[in-house]
Amino acid sequence: DTEVTQTPKHLVMGMTNKKSLKCEQHMGHRAMYWYKQKAKKPPELMFVYSYEKLSINESVPSRFSPECPNSSLLNLHLHALQPEDSALYLCASSTDTDTQYFGPGTRLTVL
Amino acid sequence: AQKVTQAQTEISVVEKEDVTLDCVYETRDTTYYLFWYKQPPSGELVFLIRRNSFDEQNEISGRYSWNFQKSTSSFNFTITASQVVDSAVYFCALSEEDNYGQNFVFGPGTRLSVLP
């Protein structure tokens, strides 16, 4: 089973809203990732959690706040976003062999 | 710094044609991993293959085949007898050893359209 699930599939929010994106995997992977993907571009790494600790933060604005409650769950808390933050947000997980398995993504629109 | 180049931005073929997607990479590491992912219009990135730098054997999986040549730093992907369902964006990616994603870099992608 190589399934990574993400909720919601679509999200529309205003610039003053607070929302959260959720990601879950049950493959026993100890690394989890958040990526942002704009149209016609490759995914850009935002955050990496390794053994439930934040190991990489690619200079992402503080209006994005990741959280890893346990080894199976990864959240991305959103607050005071800008319209340019509208994108596909992808979650992935991996073992130490580096193959990342991706979820279906959340399409976020910020109005 | 590592880098992945996919020179073909968009390719269109007619169904049943063979098509090759090019990938050229740069890295200073001797141990690294190369990947291909498929992204259909639904958005999910689907893992296709992983190859480590010490394994230059070509691989075939059904209609898919991969040609890894360290001498030219290339990892090309061929689809034989293409089908409409192969229409997607294909990303080549590179990861260096012992890093949980810190150095996982995607190429810009190649959009493949297979016409009926």
Q: Dump pLDDT digits (tens) for A19-37.
A: 999 999 989 998 999 999 9
Spell out where A1-111 has E strands: 4-7, 10-13, 18-25, 31-37, 44-50, 53-57, 64-70, 73-79, 87-94, 100-102, 106-110
Nearest-CA distance A6 → chain B (Å)? 11
Nearest-CA distance A36 → chain B (Å)? 12
* Binary contact (A2, B104; C-beta < 8 A): no
* Binary contact (A42, B106; C-beta < 8 A): yes
- Interface size A-B, in CB pairs within 8 Å, comes to 62
pLDDT score of B24: 98
* Binary contact (A102, B102; C-beta < 8 A): no
Put simply, the chain B residues between 19 and 78 with a CB less than 8 A from any chain A CB are: 33, 35, 37, 42-47, 50
Interatomic CA distance for residues B114 and B80, integer angstroms: 12
Which residue on chain B is closest to A39 by alpha carbon?
B43
Residue numbers of chain B with a pLDDT score lower than 70:
97-103
pLDDT score of B64: 96
Is some CB atom of chain B closer than 8 A to the CB atom of A98?
yes
Q: 3-class SS at A85?
A: helix
Instruction: Select from A27, A29, A33, A100 the residue whose CB has the most chain B CBs within 10 Å, as the one to mutate to test that interface.
Output: A100
Burial B103-114 (b: 16+ CB within 10 A, else e): bbbbbbbbebeb
* Binary contact (B45, A43; C-beta < 8 A): yes
pLDDT score of B104: 81
Assess contact for B47 and A100: CB atoms under 8 A: yes
Taking residue A68's Cβ as centre, other Cβ atoms within 10 Å add up to: 18
* Binary contact (B102, A42; C-beta < 8 A): no
Q: What residues form DSSP beta bridges with A50?
A: A31, A53
pLDDT score of B99: 58
Residue numbers of chain A with a pLDDT score lower than 70:
1-2, 96-97
